[in-house]
Amino acid sequence: MPVFPHDNIDFHFEQRGAGPVLVFTHGLSGDSADVRDLLGDSKDYSLLLWDVRGHGRTEPLGAPDAFSFARFAGDLQALMSHLGIQRAVVGGVSMGAGISTRLALDWPDLVRGLVLVRPAWLNERFPEPLRPCKRIGELLAAYGPDEGRRRFEQTAEYETICQTDPLAARLFCEQFTKARAAERNIRLQTIPLDCPIRSWDEVVEIKVPTMVIGSRNDFTHPFAYAAEWARRIPQATLEEVPYKEFDRAAYQFQVRALINTFMTALCQE
C-alpha cells in the first residue's frame, strides 16, 4: 500500500479498479483489509481504501486529542485532495459511516453520494452500545491484552452483555486480541466519547442521495440507529441486510449488491 504523509503521520491507502470512485472507511479497531474483504473488486467502479489514524498500517499513532470524527474527516479530505479526487461517493461501516457523514457536512462539494453501513452513533456522544469500548481501552492501557481481558470478563458489565447478546460479548472480547491493541488503546477510550454530528439540525444540509444499511439483532449497531439516520437525511433510503455474525456470506453478498446498484444509479445521472 502507498503512503500519504500528513500531520506527521504516514497514512496507508489503496486504490483498486477503475471508473467512478467510491471512498470507503472501515470501522473502529478495523482496517482497510476489512473493507477489501467486504466489498471485493468491482468492474463498475474504483475503490479507495485507507487506514484511519491509530488503525491498520497507518503510523505513528499521533496526538491523543486528534481521535475525533472531525479530525478523521479532515484526514480523509487531505487524502482525497492529495490524490486529486474532486468528487466521489463516500461511505463506511460503523465508525466509517460517522467519518463519511462528517466529511459530507464539512466538505459537501467532495461528496456525490453517501453509503452508511450499520451506523453506531446517533446525535449524542458515548452511545450505550459502545460504552464497553471505553472500559476495554482502559483495561488494555493498564493491564495489557491477557490480564485486561480476564478483568473485563469479571465485570458485571460483561455479564450483562453475555445475558443480553452472547455474540456481542464475544466481539467485545476480540478487542483484546486485535493487533497492537494495548498500544492503540486510545482509540477505544476516546472515539466512543465523540459523535459524528453536533445535532440533528446539521443533517438536513446533506443534499446528496444516501443509502443507509442496517441489520437487526446487531447489539453495537442497532437497526433503529440505521432507521433514524435514514429518516433524518433528506434523500436517504433504508436497506436491511442479514446480521454478519449470523450469516457473513449473505451479509457480504447483499452489501455488495446494494452498493453496486447505488453506484450504477448515481453514475447514470
Number of residues in the chain? 269
On the question of pLDDT at 212 being above 80, the answer is yes
Q: What is the pLDDT of residue 269?
A: 61
C-alpha cell of 266? 448515481
Q: Do 165 and 239 reside in the same domain of the chain?
A: no
On the question of pLDDT at 40 being above 70, the answer is yes
Classify strands 46-50 and 9-16 as parallel, antiparallel or unpaired: antiparallel
Average pLDDT of 156-165?
92
Of 188, 205, 232, the one marking the end of a domain is: 188
Q: Do 27 and 57 reside in the same domain of the chain?
A: yes
pTM for this one?
0.97
Q: Do 85 and 157 reside in the same domain of the chain?
A: no
Q: Do 110 and 138 reside in the same domain of the chain?
A: no
Backbone angles phi, psi at 247, to 5 degrees: -150, 85
> What is the amino acid identity at position 172?
F
On the question of pLDDT at 164 being above 90, the answer is no
Q: Do 227 and 154 reside in the same domain of the chain?
A: no
Q: Do 50 and 140 reside in the same domain of the chain?
A: no
Share of the chain above pLDDT 70, in %: 100
List the domain range (segments joined by +) for residue 38. 3-125+197-267
Q: Do 8 and 106 reside in the same domain of the chain?
A: yes
On the question of pLDDT at 153 being above 80, the answer is yes
Of 188, 221, 239, the one marking the end of a domain is: 188
Q: Do 26 and 55 reside in the same domain of the chain?
A: yes
Q: What is the pLDDT of residue 61?
A: 96
Q: What is the pLDDT of residue 267?
A: 79
CA atoms of 186 and 53, how far apart (whole Å) = 11
Predicted confidence (pLDDT) per residue in 89-131, tens digit? 999 999 999 999 999 999 999 999 999 999 999 999 999 999 9
Domains contained in the chain, number: 2
Q: What is the mean pLDDT of the chain?
A: 96
Predicted confidence (pLDDT) per residue in 140-152, tens digit? 999 999 999 999 9
Q: What is the pLDDT of residue 3?
A: 96
Q: How confident is the model at residue 63 (pLDDT cuts 50, 70, 90)?
A: very high
Q: Do 7 and 108 reside in the same domain of the chain?
A: yes
> What is the amino acid identity at position 62?
G
Q: Do 7 and 93 reside in the same domain of the chain?
A: yes
Of 188, 213, 228, the one marking the end of a domain is: 188
Q: What is the pLDDT of residue 42?
A: 87
On the question of pLDDT at 268 being above 80, the answer is no
Can you say how many angstroms the Cα of residue 162 is from the centroid of all Cα atoms in its chain? 24
C-alpha distances in Å from residue 130, one per residue of 122, 125, 186:
12, 10, 14
CATH of the domain at 22: 3.40.50.1820
Q: Give every strand in the sheet of 9-16, ordered side by side.
A: 3-6, 9-16, 46-50, 21-25, 88-93, 111-117, 210-214, 236-240
Q: Do 247 and 171 reside in the same domain of the chain?
A: no
Q: What is the pLDDT of residue 43?
A: 86
Share of the chain above pLDDT 90, in %: 95
Q: Do 177 and 147 reside in the same domain of the chain?
A: yes
